[in-house]
Amino acid sequence: MKYWKKLSATEQDARITEALKENIDFKQNTSLGIPASKLDPIVFHDEAAFLKDTPLLRCYVQNPNHIGCHTLGDSEAYFKGTQQIEREVIALLCTDVFKADEKSCDGYIAAGGTEANMQAVWIYRNHFMETYGAKVDEIGLLSSEDTHYSAAKAANIFNVRRYTVPVNKTSRKIDASGLEKIISDAIRDGIKYFIVISNMGTTMFGSVDDPDVYSHQLEQHVVQYRIHVDGAFGGFIYPVSEVASNINFANPNVSSITLDAHKMLQAPYGTGIFLVRKGYMQYVCTEEAEYVSGMDITLSGSRSGTNAVAVWMILQTYGPYGWQEKINKLLTRTGWCCKELTKAGIHYYRHPQMNIIAIHAKYVSAEIAVRFGLVPDTHTGSPSWYKIVVMDHVEMEQLKEFIECITTNAVPA
């Protein structure tokens, strides 16, 4: 691990205090032109005593704007202290978690997984158009039927045609012959360029796609393709739980990755993460953004620098070993629950390295679903699956009670 180290609260405070000093101080510096300021001091008291011990809240009060991407080109100088912390988060994730070579990737803290997935589709669509002269109707978006609906949003917004790949209904793996048929159909439709969204933890099942299955088949057809990995859910679990993972930048087939710190990392909402190999961000440079210092190459404009600091704090608080232990704990609980379901003959899907259990709806009464807050795969029709996501707050006692209820089909009052 080059960047990922465990730091004490005191060490973190010192680092954040230093970063905030390097940002603009609206009280001390004259800044007549920037349309930004710290949080309203009448509403958010910046002298409150508790702020002294809470560097994250001091950062909220200072309210740094991290507009732009800080891993390439210039950035707004007013917030350079906390931008550096964002750069450290991106370097840590690319290098220590996703096995990229030093300084070989760009990235930024996006609003969420949806934005990060869209950023990828936007980049590759423009890349195909600028580099290969592709027409927009020659670009297809390929992803599995278990993919998050942000793929459908992205296809709609960027006007690329979406192709849905079937999965095996037992293993939830990409159905290789189904993929072959979809690619052939797309090529017959005139598609020559493929953007792939490959999953590292699907929303409903936690299933994981092998990106090499996509690349193998697309290479057979001798077409241009780029693979984006949606790790919004699994990105902070799978690289830790599966040591032999091929879903990282050591795999030349993977070009970019989405993560969501506001899911498994329990960061505040508004902390998606987009990571991409160098050489791609430039395809979405908005030339018109002339008043912003540095290039505007992110889907969202202004964004809170405090979110980057929050992600940095979580990662440094746990350190790599602490994080591994936390994931192990959740996987142990998931494993226990699965073992009990198996004993009771209840059918479910679980990827062995993930903390989601999708249970066939026929075993779940409406009372049990409500009592235990299970999430169905649909809220409009009749559900086929209900899922348990073993997050930090899901304790063994609750799982035990759930198992007692589902195996006896009795819900205590």
**Residue list 346-405, contact with ligand PLP (CB under 6 A):** none
Nearest to 257 by CA among 187, 204, 208, 184: 208
Cα–chain-centroid distance for residue 209? 15
86 binds ligand PLP (CB under 6 A): no
Nearer to ligand PLP, 90 or 232 (CB): 232
Nearer to ligand PLP among residue 15 and residue 262 (C-beta): 262
Beta carbon nearer to ligand PLP, 83 or 199: 199
Coil, strand or helix at 356:
strand
Residues facing residue 370 across a β-bridge:
none
Quick one: 59 or 118, whose CB is closer to ligand PLP? 118
> Least distance (Å) from ligand PLP to the CB of residue 365?
26
Q: Which of 86, 88, 209, 230 binds ligand PLP (CB under 6 A)?
A: 230
Told to check if 233 binds ligand PLP by CB under 6 A, we report yes
With CB under 6 A as the contact rule, which of the stretches 30-38, 211-219, 228-236, 301-309 interacts with ligand PLP?
A: 228-236
Give the Cα-Cα-Cα angle 323, 329, 333 (nearest 5 degrees). 150
Binding footprint of ligand PLP, residue count (CB under 6 A) = 13
Cβ 252 to ligand PLP, closest distance in Å?
23
Decide: is 277 part of the binding site for ligand PLP (CB under 6 A).
Answer: no
Query: To the nearest whole angstrom, how small is the minimum distance from the Cβ of residue 403 to ligand PLP?
Result: 25
Q: CB nearer to ligand PLP: give 233 or 323.
A: 233
| Binding segment toward ligand PLP, per CB under 6 A, in 59-67, 187-195, 226-234, 394-402 | 226-234
Taking the complex as a whole, the smallest distance from the CB of residue 261 to ligand PLP amounts, in Å, to 9
Closest listed residue to residue 162, CA positions, set 153, 173, 171, 175: 153
> Distance between CA atoms of 154 and 136, rounded to whole angstroms?
13
Per the CB < 8 A criterion, the answer to whether 76 and 292 are in contact is yes
Footprint of ligand PLP on 321-350 (CB under 6 A): none
Contacts of 277 (CB under 8 A, 6+ apart): 100, 104, 105, 106, 249, 255, 256
Choice between 82 and 203, CB closer to ligand PLP: 203
3-state secondary structure of 230: strand
What burial class does residue 196 get, using C-beta atoms within 10 Å of its C-beta: 0-12 exposed, 13-18 middle, 19+ buried? buried
Q: Which of residues 87-126 bind ligand PLP (CB under 6 A)?
A: 112-114, 117
Among 272, 311, 334, 364, binds ligand PLP (CB under 6 A): 272
Considering the complex, what minimum distance in angstroms separates the CB of residue 133 from ligand PLP? 31
* Rounded Cα–Cα distance for residues 125 and 144 (Å): 19
SS3 64: coil
Tell how strand 161-165 and strand 193-199 pair up: unpaired
Contacting ligand PLP within 139-168 (CB under 6 A): 148, 150
> Can you tell me which of 82, 83, 119, 203 binds ligand PLP, judged by CB under 6 A?
203
- Write the single-letter amino acid at 184: S
User: Closest Cα to residue 174, out of 139, 203, 141, 147?
Assistant: 147
DSSP string across 379-391: SSS--SEEEEE--
Cα end-to-end span (Å), the chain: 50
| Cβ nearer to ligand PLP, comparing 55 with 272 | 272
Residue choice 86, 175, 209, 260 for contact with ligand PLP (CB under 6 A): 260
* H-helix segments, 174-266: 176-188, 211-220, 238-241
CB 272 within 8 A of CB 303: no
Residues 173-202 that bind ligand PLP (CB under 6 A): 202
Q: Which is nearer to ligand PLP, 75 or 117 (CB)?
A: 117
Which residues sit at the interface with ligand PLP, rule CB under 6 A?
Answer: 112-114, 117, 148, 150, 202-203, 230, 232-233, 260, 272
